[in-house]
Amino acid sequence: MKRILKKTALFTVVVFIVFALVASNGMTQRTLSTQRLPIKNCSNLPANQPFSQPCIETTTVSTSPTPIFLPSLNLQLTNQQRFLTTITDKLPIIPQAGTFEYILLRAYGGAFVNHAPAVKLPPKVVFTNEQETKKYQATLTLSKVNDTNECYLQKTAADAFNQARSQVHIPLKSGYGPSDCTRSFATNLRFWQKYADSKTLEKVREGIETAILGIVAPPGSSQHLWGLAIDLYVSNQAQRQALSQHGWVQTVENDMPHWTYIGYPQEKLTEFGFQSKVVRGITYWVTPL
């Protein structure tokens, strides 16, 4: 018993040291493993179900295993710490507070808590050009959403969406089209130029313009580039419930048609530090940054 207490105390101390370093440096590389938690075998889980907790494939042989943290283990963490702890194995470099990248992480970074094993997150929050975007997109396994015209998502996200849609009819925003689903850098740029310009981008970079982020994503930063977002026409509670049950939630404040595949039902999100924000009757799950 004494030994366990000692271990727990040691773990708490190590966790606080890690966060002290994060806070003092602002920028941190991948957090070092402080404690390995039991690895849950994902292969036994029913396909396409949202996972109740992060899990990794045990079949993968790795000399330096990726640490998995369960923020709920330490109730003393702030929401921000919980969130950053959860995404630390998914986003190699956490942007420094106050930077353009940090602003984008705040607006669109909710998807980084997704720990479904086949889901691939981007290596950074903003791609600089088409080439870089394509290089990442080439690594994705995409799948077409049933009964759509060229609407592609990452396979896990598409499967989860198809399941939600088998419970209740959920139309795409445009009705059928590819622009609601995975987009190219060029499409992201074209949408941006429709609503904003370089002056707007400068204001976003300075942190004085945030409302535009709920209307259109700056070039290279849209969740639609990641194959984990879809624009829908949702009009009732049954649709919302089916989407949440299958890991689809609204993470971008004020972007009414926009849904993000996060891999967890919304009830789970406070454990990762998310805050719910109701705007005009719609609940958005925003990052605590």
Helix ranges (H only) for the chain are 2-25, 79-87, 100-108, 130-137, 155-167, 185-195, 198-206, 237-245
Spatial distance between the Cα atoms of 174 and 194, rounded to a whole number of angstroms: 17
Spatial distance between the Cα atoms of 265 and 281, rounded to a whole number of angstroms: 19
Nearer to Zn ion (CB atom), residue 150 or residue 202: 150
Nearest-approach distance from CB 24 to Zn ion, in angstroms: 36
Nearer to Zn ion (CB atom), residue 229 or residue 289: 229
Residue 124 and residue 219 in contact, taking contact as beta carbons nearer than 8 Å: no
Q: In the window 185-244, what residues touch Zn ion (CB under 5 A)?
A: 231
Contacts of 103 (CB under 8 A, 6+ apart): 204, 205, 207, 210, 213
Give the residue at shortest CB distance from Zn ion. Answer: 258
Nearest-approach distance from CB 125 to Zn ion, in angstroms: 16
What's the token pair of residue 104? 């984008």
Nearer to Zn ion (CB atom), residue 221 or residue 266: 221
Nearest-approach distance from CB 107 to Zn ion, in angstroms: 12
Q: Is 82 a residue that touches Zn ion (CB under 5 A)?
A: no
Spatial distance between the Cα atoms of 88 and 82, rounded to a whole number of angstroms: 10
Q: Is 89 a residue that touches Zn ion (CB under 5 A)?
A: no
Residue 1 burial by Cβ neighbours in a 10 Å radius (0-12, 13-18, 19+)? exposed
Nearer to Zn ion (CB atom), residue 71 or residue 227: 227
Nearest-approach distance from CB 231 to Zn ion, in angstroms: 4
* Among the listed residues 115, 240, 258, 268, the single contact to Zn ion using CB under 5 A: 258
Contacts of 187 (CB under 8 A, 6+ apart): 179, 224
Q: Is 183 a residue that touches Zn ion (CB under 5 A)?
A: no
What's the token pair of residue 160? 């989860």
Nearest-approach distance from CB 240 to Zn ion, in angstroms: 16
* Contact range with Zn ion by CB under 5 A, out of 133-141, 191-199, 201-209, 254-262: 254-262
Size of the site for Zn ion (CB under 5 A): 2
Spatial distance between the Cα atoms of 43 and 33, rounded to a whole number of angstroms: 24
Nearest-approach distance from CB 191 to Zn ion, in angstroms: 9
Nearer to Zn ion (CB atom), residue 258 or residue 268: 258
Nearer to Zn ion (CB atom), residue 240 or residue 258: 258
Nearest-approach distance from CB 105 to Zn ion, in angstroms: 17
Closest of 113, 116, 112 to residue 40, by C-alpha: 116
- Catalog residues that contact Zn ion under the rule CB under 5 A: 231, 258
